[in-house]
Amino acid sequence: MATYIMYNYRDRSDGFVFAFGTFIGGAYEYICSVFTEIVFGKIFWDYRGLPFNLGGRINLLYCFFWGIAAVVRLKKLYPLFSNLIERIPMRTGKIVTWCLVAFMCVDISVSTLALARCNGRSHHRKAANGIERLLDERFPDNRMKQIYPNGKTAGN
């Protein structure tokens, strides 16, 4: 998504790409922080101990890292990978792309369901159906803590 948004600016100066990447990365991180707290009741990072933070959700230093990543990605990595991708036959590329899309959809869905169920358990909600019982079995709280070691319940 970041590549898609920033692609039109690939010919701009490194300084512009850095500044735009800093802003886009910070905005993305802030939105993700709000989303996970509202939807899952979890906080996965907290920058309140660092200077120049915005509600602990983003921090200027890490936003600068987003800017550096944008320059490296757009100016160095994207041309290299784009050149390699263009060598893949169209049919093979489409098959691989759709396989990756399907994998990511399943991964995101399972992660979302597991996080939502973990949030339900933290509010003492019993499993209401077979899917929730399966999630309780496969993704108990101790496993969720291993997967998301920095996750803490919002408000704590």
pLDDT digits (tens, 9 = 90+) for 93-127: 999 999 999 999 999 999 999 999 998 998 899 99
Cα(36)–Cα(137) distance, rounded to whole angstroms?
23
Is the same domain home to 65 and 109?
no
- Please check whether residue 34 is in contact with residue 140, taking contact to mean a CB–CB distance below 8 angstroms: no
Cα(13)–Cα(2) distance, rounded to whole angstroms?
17
> How many helices, marked H, and strands, marked E, lie in the chain?
7, 4
Cα(73)–Cα(84) distance, rounded to whole angstroms?
15
Is the same domain home to 97 and 83?
no
Is the same domain home to 10 and 71?
yes
Is the same domain home to 83 and 93?
no
Is the same domain home to 79 and 100?
no
Residue 64, in any domain of the structure = yes
Q: How confident is the model at residue 25 (pLDDT cuts 50, 70, 90)?
A: very high
pLDDT at 71: 95
Is the same domain home to 36 and 48?
yes
Is the same domain home to 27 and 71?
yes
Domain end call among 87, 105, 135: 87
Residue 153, in any domain of the structure = no
Work out how many domains the chain is built from and give that number.
Answer: 2
Is the same domain home to 106 and 75?
no
Domain end call among 41, 63, 87: 87
Cα(4)–Cα(78) distance, rounded to whole angstroms?
11
Residue 143, in any domain of the structure = yes
Residue 1, in any domain of the structure = yes
Residue 152, in any domain of the structure = no
Residue 156, in any domain of the structure = no
pLDDT at 3: 80
Token readout for 122 is 């933290």
Residue 154, in any domain of the structure = no
Is the same domain home to 15 and 74?
yes
pLDDT at 149: 87
Specify the pairing of strand 152-153 against strand 53-54: unpaired
Tell how far CA 58 is from the center of its chain.
Answer: 14
Is the same domain home to 67 and 97?
no
Instruction: Report helix, strand or coil for 54.
Output: strand
pLDDT at 1: 79
Range of the domain at 129: 89-147
Q: Across the chain, what does the average pLDDT equal? A: 93
Is the same domain home to 78 and 2?
yes
